[in-house]
């Protein structure tokens, strides 16, 4: 779901998170700390981000990203968050051996 959202709304999200360009410069750039904040809100800590997107290892607080870099980094992280969500949903809870007290447990 997150990667679909990125595909549909990446331009809007980038424009919302970027700083205004300086006069005479039409290029909007995104400060790396703002993207880190978004990752934190989505539940991806720094270790998760750096493990799934090695490109971020060279970033520092003064790093600014273009739209293409933003999409590349965000896609790496969101794709892994989506995979983790699917894996967690696929886990099946099995009742312990012995008597089952409810029909809901037997369905699982």
pLDDT at 91 over 70: no
Q: Which two tokens stand for residue 11?
A: 């331009």
pTM higher than 0.85 = no
pLDDT at 12 over 70: yes
CA 40 to chain centre: 9
pLDDT of residue 98: 55
């Amino acid at each position: 779901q997150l990667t679909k959202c990125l595909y549909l709304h990446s331009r809007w999200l980038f424009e919302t998170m970027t700083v205004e360009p300086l006069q005479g410069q039409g290029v909007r750039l995104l400060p790396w700390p703002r993207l880190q904040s978004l990752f934190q809100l989505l539940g991806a800590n720094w270790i998760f981000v750096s493990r799934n997107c090695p490109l971020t290892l060279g970033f520092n607080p003064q790093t600014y990203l273009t739209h293409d870099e933003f999409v590349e980094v965000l896609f790496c992280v969101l794709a892994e968050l989506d995979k983790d969500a699917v894996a967690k949903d696929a886990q099946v809870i099995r009742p312990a051996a012995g008597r089952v007290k409810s029909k809901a447990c037997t369905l699982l």
